[in-house]
Protein backbone atom coordinates (compact mmCIF):
# COMPACT_ATOMS: atom_id res chain seq x y z
CA UNK A 1 0.00 0.00 0.00
CA UNK A 2 2.69 2.44 1.04
CA UNK A 3 4.82 1.55 -1.97
CA UNK A 4 1.82 2.26 -4.21
CA UNK A 5 1.43 5.66 -2.62
CA UNK A 6 5.06 6.43 -3.29
CA UNK A 7 4.65 5.53 -6.95
CA UNK A 8 1.55 7.71 -7.19
CA UNK A 9 3.43 10.60 -5.70
CA UNK A 10 6.32 10.09 -8.05
CA UNK A 11 4.00 10.06 -11.03
CA UNK A 12 2.28 13.19 -9.79
CA UNK A 13 5.59 14.91 -9.16
CA UNK A 14 7.07 14.14 -12.56
CA UNK A 15 4.23 13.86 -15.05
CA UNK A 16 5.32 12.74 -18.49
CA UNK A 17 6.00 15.87 -20.44
CA UNK A 18 3.30 16.71 -22.96
CA UNK A 19 5.14 17.39 -26.20
CA UNK A 20 2.15 18.04 -28.41
CA UNK A 21 -1.01 19.37 -26.76
CA UNK A 22 -4.33 17.86 -27.80
CA UNK A 23 -5.38 20.83 -29.97
CA UNK A 24 -2.16 20.62 -31.98
CA UNK A 25 -2.60 16.90 -32.56
CA UNK A 26 -6.25 17.21 -33.55
CA UNK A 27 -5.62 20.09 -35.94
CA UNK A 28 -2.52 18.40 -37.36
CA UNK A 29 -4.43 15.30 -38.45
CA UNK A 30 -7.49 17.19 -39.65
CA UNK A 31 -5.10 19.29 -41.70
CA UNK A 32 -3.34 16.19 -43.03
CA UNK A 33 -6.66 14.80 -44.28
CA UNK A 34 -7.78 18.16 -45.72
CA UNK A 35 -4.42 18.65 -47.46
CA UNK A 36 -4.52 15.23 -49.10
CA UNK A 37 -8.08 15.81 -50.32
CA UNK A 38 -7.14 19.27 -51.63
CA UNK A 39 -3.99 18.03 -53.37
CA UNK A 40 -5.64 15.03 -55.07
CA UNK A 41 -8.67 17.02 -56.22
CA UNK A 42 -6.37 19.90 -57.17
CA UNK A 43 -4.39 17.56 -59.44
CA UNK A 44 -7.66 16.60 -61.12
CA UNK A 45 -8.42 20.28 -61.76
CA UNK A 46 -4.85 20.91 -62.97
CA UNK A 47 -5.18 18.07 -65.49
CA UNK A 48 -8.12 19.84 -67.18
CA UNK A 49 -5.76 22.55 -68.37
CA UNK A 50 -2.15 21.81 -67.40
CA UNK A 51 0.10 24.80 -66.70
CA UNK A 52 3.16 22.80 -67.71
CA UNK A 53 3.94 19.98 -70.09
CA UNK A 54 2.77 17.22 -67.79
CA UNK A 55 -0.36 15.84 -66.15
CA UNK A 56 -0.81 14.02 -62.88
CA UNK A 57 -1.50 10.28 -63.12
CA UNK A 58 -5.24 9.58 -63.02
CA UNK A 59 -4.84 7.14 -60.14
CA UNK A 60 -3.67 9.99 -57.94
CA UNK A 61 -6.57 12.30 -58.66
CA UNK A 62 -9.88 12.65 -56.89
CA UNK A 63 -13.32 13.12 -58.43
CA UNK A 64 -13.13 11.14 -61.68
CA UNK A 65 -13.34 14.23 -63.93
CA UNK A 66 -13.03 18.00 -63.67
CA UNK A 67 -16.57 18.49 -62.32
CA UNK A 68 -16.01 15.91 -59.58
CA UNK A 69 -12.59 17.32 -58.75
CA UNK A 70 -14.07 20.79 -58.34
CA UNK A 71 -16.81 19.49 -56.03
CA UNK A 72 -14.19 17.77 -53.85
CA UNK A 73 -11.93 20.82 -53.87
CA UNK A 74 -14.73 23.18 -52.84
CA UNK A 75 -15.92 20.78 -50.14
CA UNK A 76 -12.52 20.03 -48.60
CA UNK A 77 -11.64 23.74 -48.66
CA UNK A 78 -13.96 24.28 -45.68
CA UNK A 79 -12.10 21.68 -43.66
CA UNK A 80 -8.75 23.22 -44.64
CA UNK A 81 -9.76 26.83 -44.06
CA UNK A 82 -11.65 26.46 -40.79
CA UNK A 83 -9.02 24.15 -39.32
CA UNK A 84 -6.17 26.30 -40.63
CA UNK A 85 -7.71 29.50 -39.31
CA UNK A 86 -8.29 27.92 -35.90
CA UNK A 87 -4.70 26.69 -35.89
CA UNK A 88 -3.17 30.06 -36.75
CA UNK A 89 -5.36 31.90 -34.22
CA UNK A 90 -4.61 29.40 -31.43
CA UNK A 91 -0.93 29.32 -32.33
CA UNK A 92 -0.70 33.09 -32.07
CA UNK A 93 -2.98 33.45 -29.04
CA UNK A 94 -1.28 30.79 -26.92
CA UNK A 95 2.18 32.05 -27.89
CA UNK A 96 3.04 28.61 -29.24
CA UNK A 97 4.31 29.99 -32.56
CA UNK A 98 6.54 32.50 -30.77
CA UNK A 99 7.84 30.00 -28.23
CA UNK A 100 8.37 27.06 -30.58
CA UNK A 101 9.26 28.64 -33.91
CA UNK A 102 11.23 31.74 -32.94
CA UNK A 103 13.92 32.89 -33.22
CA UNK A 104 15.05 31.58 -36.59
CA UNK A 105 18.66 32.63 -37.19
CA UNK A 106 20.66 31.94 -40.32
CA UNK A 107 23.60 30.61 -38.32
CA UNK A 108 21.29 28.29 -36.38
CA UNK A 109 19.69 27.02 -39.58
CA UNK A 110 23.08 26.47 -41.26
CA UNK A 111 24.42 24.63 -38.23
CA UNK A 112 21.38 22.34 -37.92
CA UNK A 113 21.10 21.64 -41.64
CA UNK A 114 24.74 20.53 -41.64
CA UNK A 115 24.13 18.41 -38.55
CA UNK A 116 20.98 16.89 -40.07
CA UNK A 117 22.70 15.99 -43.34
CA UNK A 118 25.46 14.20 -41.41
CA UNK A 119 22.90 12.50 -39.13
CA UNK A 120 24.25 14.24 -36.04
CA UNK A 121 21.19 16.32 -35.20
CA UNK A 122 20.11 15.53 -31.64
CA UNK A 123 16.45 14.73 -30.80
CA UNK A 124 16.79 14.32 -27.04
CA UNK A 125 14.24 16.99 -26.17
CA UNK A 126 11.33 16.92 -28.62
CA UNK A 127 9.70 19.91 -26.93
CA UNK A 128 12.35 22.17 -28.44
CA UNK A 129 12.34 22.42 -32.22
CA UNK A 130 15.73 22.54 -33.92
CA UNK A 131 16.38 25.21 -36.55
CA UNK A 132 15.55 22.94 -39.48
CA UNK A 133 12.17 22.25 -37.93
CA UNK A 134 11.59 25.91 -37.07
CA UNK A 135 12.35 26.98 -40.63
CA UNK A 136 10.21 24.26 -42.23
CA UNK A 137 7.24 24.69 -39.88
CA UNK A 138 7.22 28.49 -40.05
CA UNK A 139 7.75 28.34 -43.81
CA UNK A 140 4.90 25.93 -44.38
CA UNK A 141 2.52 28.16 -42.39
CA UNK A 142 3.41 31.04 -44.73
CA UNK A 143 2.90 28.75 -47.75
CA UNK A 144 -0.42 27.64 -46.27
CA UNK A 145 -1.61 31.24 -46.02
CA UNK A 146 -0.42 31.94 -49.58
CA UNK A 147 -2.12 28.89 -51.08
CA UNK A 148 -5.43 29.83 -49.45
CA UNK A 149 -5.17 33.45 -50.62
CA UNK A 150 -4.21 32.49 -54.19
CA UNK A 151 -6.95 29.85 -54.21
CA UNK A 152 -9.56 32.38 -53.10
CA UNK A 153 -8.33 34.71 -55.87
CA UNK A 154 -8.95 32.01 -58.47
CA UNK A 155 -12.29 31.03 -57.00
CA UNK A 156 -13.74 34.56 -56.91
CA UNK A 157 -11.58 36.81 -59.11
CA UNK A 158 -14.40 39.36 -59.51
CA UNK A 159 -15.56 39.47 -55.90
CA UNK A 160 -12.06 39.33 -54.44
CA UNK A 161 -10.45 41.58 -57.03
CA UNK A 162 -8.20 43.26 -54.46
CA UNK A 163 -6.79 39.84 -53.54
CA UNK A 164 -6.08 39.10 -57.20
CA UNK A 165 -4.25 42.44 -57.42
CA UNK A 166 -2.05 41.30 -54.55
CA UNK A 167 -0.70 38.61 -56.87
CA UNK A 168 -0.66 40.86 -59.95
CA UNK A 169 -3.34 39.18 -62.04
CA UNK A 170 -5.44 36.04 -62.30
CA UNK A 171 -2.93 33.87 -64.22
CA UNK A 172 -0.18 34.77 -61.74
CA UNK A 173 -2.40 33.75 -58.83
CA UNK A 174 -2.82 30.42 -60.62
CA UNK A 175 0.95 29.91 -60.83
CA UNK A 176 1.37 30.93 -57.17
CA UNK A 177 -1.31 28.37 -56.25
CA UNK A 178 0.55 25.67 -58.18
CA UNK A 179 3.98 26.43 -56.69
CA UNK A 180 2.55 26.55 -53.17
CA UNK A 181 1.10 23.08 -53.82
CA UNK A 182 4.54 21.93 -55.02
CA UNK A 183 6.13 23.37 -51.87
CA UNK A 184 3.58 21.58 -49.68
CA UNK A 185 4.24 18.29 -51.49
CA UNK A 186 8.00 18.72 -51.03
CA UNK A 187 7.41 19.53 -47.36
CA UNK A 188 5.17 16.48 -47.03
CA UNK A 189 7.89 14.17 -48.35
CA UNK A 190 10.62 15.58 -46.07
CA UNK A 191 8.25 15.82 -43.10
CA UNK A 192 7.08 12.22 -43.34
CA UNK A 193 10.62 10.98 -43.96
CA UNK A 194 11.98 12.79 -40.90
CA UNK A 195 9.07 11.64 -38.74
CA UNK A 196 9.80 8.05 -39.73
CA UNK A 197 13.50 8.54 -38.94
CA UNK A 198 12.58 9.79 -35.45
CA UNK A 199 9.54 7.62 -34.63
CA UNK A 200 9.07 9.09 -31.15
CA UNK A 201 8.16 12.40 -32.83
CA UNK A 202 5.37 10.57 -34.66
CA UNK A 203 4.25 9.01 -31.39
CA UNK A 204 4.16 12.45 -29.80
CA UNK A 205 1.90 13.70 -32.59
CA UNK A 206 -0.49 10.80 -31.95
CA UNK A 207 -0.60 10.32 -28.18
CA UNK A 208 0.96 13.60 -27.13
CA UNK A 209 4.06 12.37 -25.31
Partner 1 sequence: MAKRSFLIPGVDKRLLIKDSIKTMPDLTRRRFIAGGASLGALTLLTGCDVIDSSSAEEMLKTVSKFNDAVQDFIFNPDALAPTFPESAITKPFPFNAYYDLDDAPEIEADDWKLEVRGLVDNKKSWTLPELYNLPQVSQITRHICVEGWSAIGSWTGTPLRDFLKLIGADTRAKYVWFQCADKDGYNSPLDMRSALHPQTQMTFKYANEILPRAYGFPMKIRVPTKLGFKNPKYVISMEVTNDYKGGYWEDQGYNSFSGN
- Please give the residue ranges that form the binding site for partner 1 (CB under 8 A): 36, 40, 45-46, 48-49, 51, 61-68, 70-72, 74-75, 78, 154, 156-159, 161, 164, 170-171, 174
71/109 with CB nearer partner 1: 71
Q: Which is nearer to partner 1, 66 or 104 (CB)?
A: 66
Task: Rank residues 48 and 92 by Cβ distance to partner 1 and give the closer one.
Answer: 48
CB of 97 to partner 1, least distance (A): 28
Q: How far is the CB of 157 from partner 1 (least distance, A)?
A: 5
CB of 37 to partner 1, least distance (A): 8
- How near is the Cβ of 81 to partner 1 at its closest, in Å? 12
DSSP assignment of the chain: -HHHHHHHHHHHHSPPPPSS-HHHHHHHHHHHHHHHHHHHHHHHHHHHS-SSS----GGG-SSSSHHHHHHHHHHHHHHHHHHHHHHHHHHHHTSHHHHHH----HHHHHHHHHHHHTT----S-TTS--HHHHHHHHHHHHHHHHHHHHHHHHH-TTTTHHHHHHHSSHHHHHHHHHHHHHHHHHHHHHHHHHHHHSHHHHHHHHH--
Minimum distance from residue 117 beta carbon to partner 1 (Å): 33
Kindly tell me which of 123 and 156 has the beta carbon lying closer to partner 1. 156
Q: Of 71 and 166, which CB lies nearer to partner 1 in the complex structure?
A: 71
What minimum distance in Å lies between the beta carbon of 25 and partner 1?
A: 19
Nearer to partner 1, 33 or 117 (CB): 33
| b/e code 139-166 from CB counts within 10 Å (16+ = b) | ebbebbebbbbbbbbbeeeeebeebbee
Amino acid sequence: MSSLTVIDEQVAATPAKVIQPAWVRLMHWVNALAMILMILSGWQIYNASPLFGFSFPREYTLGGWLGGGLLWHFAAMWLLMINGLAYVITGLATGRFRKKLLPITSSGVLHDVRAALTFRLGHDDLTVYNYVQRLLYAGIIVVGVLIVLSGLSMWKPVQLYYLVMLFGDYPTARYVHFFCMAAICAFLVIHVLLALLVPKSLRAMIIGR
